[in-house]
Amino acid sequence: MSDRVFITGLSLHAYHGVMPYEGKVGQTFTIDLALDIDLSAAAHSDKVADTVSYDKVVDCVSAAFVAQRYRLIEAAAGKVADAVLAAFPRVTRVSVTIHKPHAPIAATFSDVGVTLVRNRK
């Protein structure tokens, strides 16, 4: 199967990070998602019930991402992936990329982040 629902550039303010000030001030993170799902029924029926609703995915991801403070964005990405798989049984695989463009690194860079891919067990 090669069907996929994606959401890119979801911006959320959160307090993740190792540095103490990151937990106080926070920063804006950007999340990209790719959800593997069989879309053949939705392609024929034209019904939301046969796919995943973007707004429900965004609500799920937002809630999981800001529910607690994580020191590592790897942990935050894992919680997001787990939440998506738990909430949407039709999703067989999820890819979560978290961008942290304001990471406290003494260098000039465009972006840093992580990508986690999780499959339904």
Q: Which of 56, 79, 100, 121 is catalytic?
A: 100
For residue 1, the model assigns a pLDDT of 61
Catalytic site includes residue 56: no
Separation of alpha carbons 42 and 50, rounded Å: 5
* Percent of the chain's residues with pLDDT above 70: 99
Q: Is 17 helix (H, G, I), strand (E, B) or coil?
A: coil
Domains and CATH numbers, the chain: 4-112 (3.30.1130.10)
Task: List the single range of 5-9, 59-63, 92-96, 106-110 with lowest mean pLDDT.
Answer: 106-110
Residue 74 has pLDDT above 80, yes or no: yes
Taken in order 89, 32, 70, 72, the sign of the CA dihedral is positive
Task: State mean pLDDT over 114-119.
Answer: 98
Separation between Cα atoms, residue 102 and residue 110, nearest integer Å: 9
Summarised one tens digit per residue, pLDDT across range 21-71 is 888 999 999 999 999 999 999 999 999 999 999 999 999 999 999 999 999
